[in-house]
Amino acid sequence: MWGPPIWVKEDLPNEELSGPGLELEASLNQLTAQAELAVQDSDPVESFLRRMSSHNMIGKNETFGA
């Protein structure tokens, strides 16, 4: 998964380099989270288990049968 380009101005003072650094960090972490989510969705078993857990289809105190 490719993210949008991050441009760093050539006249940006060195003390302000942390700005684009944080932008890159956030972009990489967000992309990675999106990619992880996408592959979970593509796996039918993972996707089913995740949906069950998020919708609390099986409650902790729920009993089946008798």
Partner 1 sequence: MLNWMKLSVAPPLAARTIRLLGHTMRMSTVGGETVDELYRQGKHIIIAFWHGRQLMMPLAYRGQQASILISQHRDGEIIARIMRYFGFQSIRGSSTRGGLRATRQLLKVGRNGGDLVVTPDGPKGPACRVQSGVIYLAKATGLPIIPLTFACSKKKSFQVGIAFRFPIPVG
The residue whose two tokens read 């996408």 is 38
Residue number with CB closer to partner 1 (36 or 57): 36
Stretch 16-35 residues interacting with partner 1 (CB under 8 A): 17-18, 20-22, 24-25, 27-29, 31-32, 35
Taking the CA atoms of residue 38, residue 42, residue 48 and residue 49 in that order, the dihedral angle to the nearest 10 degrees is -60
Closest approach, Cβ 5 to partner 1, in A, equals 4
First to last CA, the chain: 48
Closest approach, Cβ 13 to partner 1, in A, equals 10
